[in-house]
Each structure stands twice: as C-alpha cells, then as structure tokens.
Amino acid sequence: MPEFNLLKSVPSVRRDVSARLQNKERNRAISLAFGEAYFDGPREQGYGGYTYDGRWVPVAEAARDHYGLKSGQSVLDVGCAKGFFVYDLMQVVPGLDACGVDISDYALTNAKPEVKHRLQQSSADNLPFEDDSFDAAFSINTIHNLDRDGCIRTLREMNRVVKDPSNCFVQVDAYRNEEEKNLFEAWMLTAKTYGTPEDWRKIFEDANYVGDHFWTILEFEDQVQL
Ligand SMILES: C[S@@+](CC[C@H](N)C(=O)[O-])C[C@H]1O[C@@H](n2cnc3c(N)ncnc32)[C@H](O)[C@@H]1O
C-alpha cells in the first residue's frame, strides 16, 4: 500500500471556508444529489463550476509514467465525473482504452463530448466489469463519498477488475490533527468516510487493498490543494 502523490501537479486554490459554514446543512443536502448544483452551481454547494481546464494533463502524465501505461492497454476511472481524467489519459497515451464510471447522471450527461460514450453510470462499489478487465484503475476524491463498508466494497471491486491489484490508485479526504479535522469538517459537503491516514490504512487492510494511495488534506483556509 505505497503512498504516492499522483496529484502533486494540481494547483492550489483559494477556499472561503467561512462561506461554506452558512446554510451548511441545506447545502450539504443539495450537494449530496451530485447534480447541477454540486458541479456547476454556487461554490457553497460544490465545485462552483466544473469545467475542463487541462489541470489533469500532468496527472495523466504522472499516471502514464508510474504505471507504464501504453497503447492497447485499458484503464478505469472510478468517480470520473465529466470524464476529464479519462480524456487526458487518452491524450497522453494515444491508443489507450480509458473508461469511467460515476453515480451522477448530471455529470455523465454533461461530460466532455469526446469521451461521453466511454462513461457509464454505476456506483463505485458495484463495478459493471468482468474480473481482470483493466491494466490500471484510479479513483480520485470519490470513495470517501461512500460509508465505510462501501469504501471497502469499492476497494475490493478495484482489486477485482484490474489484472494486477498493485496498479490501483485512490486519493481520499484525510486530516492529521484536530486543526485539520476542524477545517475539513467546516469545508466538506459530501464525505461520509474520513479520518486520519491511520484510519484509512485500516480500511485498506480490511479491503486487502494493495494499490497506491494519497490524501487530500486541507491545510490552510486560503491555500489548499483541490
Ligand atoms: C469530488 S468529485 C471527484 C471527481 C473527479 N474524480 C475529480 O477528481 O475531479 C466526487 C465524484 O464522486 C462521484 N460519486 C459520489 N458517490 C459515488 C458513488 N457511490 N459511486 C460512483 N461515483 C460516486 C460524484 O458524482 C463525483 O463525480
């Protein structure tokens, strides 16, 4: 279960945590539908506009290099949203067969047109693929939206659908101390499972997950990673 910072190139953004605290429960209920409000509504209810800007290109390049992705191989993005990472993986590895699943009808309907046909609706914990279908599987900032048992089922599903379970990557919400926990709980809208890296390592063990992982940790109110 190696730690691997696949997203290290993703730029930091300003987050107005205090704005999130207003109408938090109402906004959380709206966000949990993973509909238009979450992706393209106000920042208080989610992304505040989830549009393609190429930020996943260096992440796709890092994935290509780390997992040795080549033309003719196939990869899966679990929680693919509008398919931006699927698109960028196919740009940086010509001939790669990339596909994605997401629970959000809105994201899939409004997906990047070039890859829309490669995406399908499914819950992360019940993947509609045969065993050993993929050369690598990724799930970025998604599995914490399921409860603990759902996280375990998802990690097992990722293990199942890849040929080599070490060729998996998950990034999840975490915090390392009380200050980060308070900041996280003030900001987050949709997470159902979160904890310290030690808590997550226990989940990985319970799922027999042997792939790579990394954390999304909010460190500063005004400058944290996406
Ligand atoms: C924070 S977004 C991350 C999207 C994308 N991976 C990224 O990093 O830009 C979380 C995604 O998880 C999806 N999601 C939430 N629950 C899910 C589930 N049970 N199964 C599959 N996808 C889910 C949401 O629709 C959303 O697209």
Does 23 map to a domain?
A: yes
Does 4 map to a domain?
A: no
Nearest CA to ligand 1 atom 10: 142
Number of domains in the chain: 1
Does 128 map to a domain?
A: yes
Nearest CA to ligand 1 atom 4: 81
Say yes or no: CB of residue 193 within 6 Å of ligand 1: no
- 16-25, 99-108, 126-135, range with the lowest pLDDT: 16-25
Say yes or no: CB of residue 140 within 6 Å of ligand 1: yes
Does 112 map to a domain?
A: yes
Does 6 map to a domain?
A: no
Look at residue 1 and tell me whether its pLDDT is greater than 70.
Answer: no
Does 61 map to a domain?
A: yes
Does 18 map to a domain?
A: yes
pLDDT tens figures, 105-148: 999 999 999 999 999 999 999 999 999 999 999 999 999 999 99
Say yes or no: CB of residue 81 within 6 Å of ligand 1: yes
Q: Which atom of ligand 1 is nearest the CA belonging to 77?
A: 6
As a whole number, mean pLDDT of residues 37-53 equals: 92
Q: Are 165 and 159 in contact (CB under 8 A)?
A: yes
pLDDT tens figures, 211-223: 999 999 887 654 4
DSSP string, 140-186: ES-GGGS-HHHHHHHHHHHHHHBSSTTSEEEEEEB-SSHHHHHHHHH
- 51-55, 67-71, 196-200, 219-223, range with the lowest pLDDT: 219-223
Domain ranges, residue 165: 12-225
Q: How far apart are CA 15 and CA 31, in angstroms?
A: 17
Q: What is the mean pLDDT of the chain?
A: 93
Q: Which atom of ligand 1 is nearest the CA belonging to 104?
A: 25
Q: Are 28 and 190 in contact (CB under 8 A)?
A: yes
pLDDT tens figures, 61-86: 999 999 999 999 999 999 999 999 99
Q: Among all chains, which residue has been given the structure tokens 């001939």?
A: 95
Across 27-36, 48-57, 125-134, the highest mean pLDDT is recorded for 125-134
Say yes or no: CB of residue 146 within 6 Å of ligand 1: yes
Q: Provide the terminal-to-terminal Cα distance of the chain, rounded to the nearest Å.
A: 23
Q: Which atom of ligand 1 is nearest the CA belonging to 123?
A: 20
Domain at 212, CATH number: 3.40.50.150
Nearest CA to ligand 1 atom 27: 81
- What pLDDT, on the 0 to 100 scale, is given for residue 226? 41
Say yes or no: CB of residue 45 within 6 Å of ligand 1: no
Q: Which residues contact 18 (CB under 8 A, 6 or more apart)?
A: none
- What pLDDT, on the 0 to 100 scale, is given for residue 220? 63
DSSP string, 55-122: TTHHHHHHHHHHHT--TT-EEEEET-TTSHHHHHHHHHSTT-EEEEEES-HHHHHTS-GGGGGGEEE-
Q: How confident is the model at residue 225 (pLDDT cuts 50, 70, 90)?
A: very low
Does 76 map to a domain?
A: yes
Say yes or no: CB of residue 142 within 6 Å of ligand 1: yes
Q: How far apart are CA 13 and CA 173, in angstroms?
A: 16
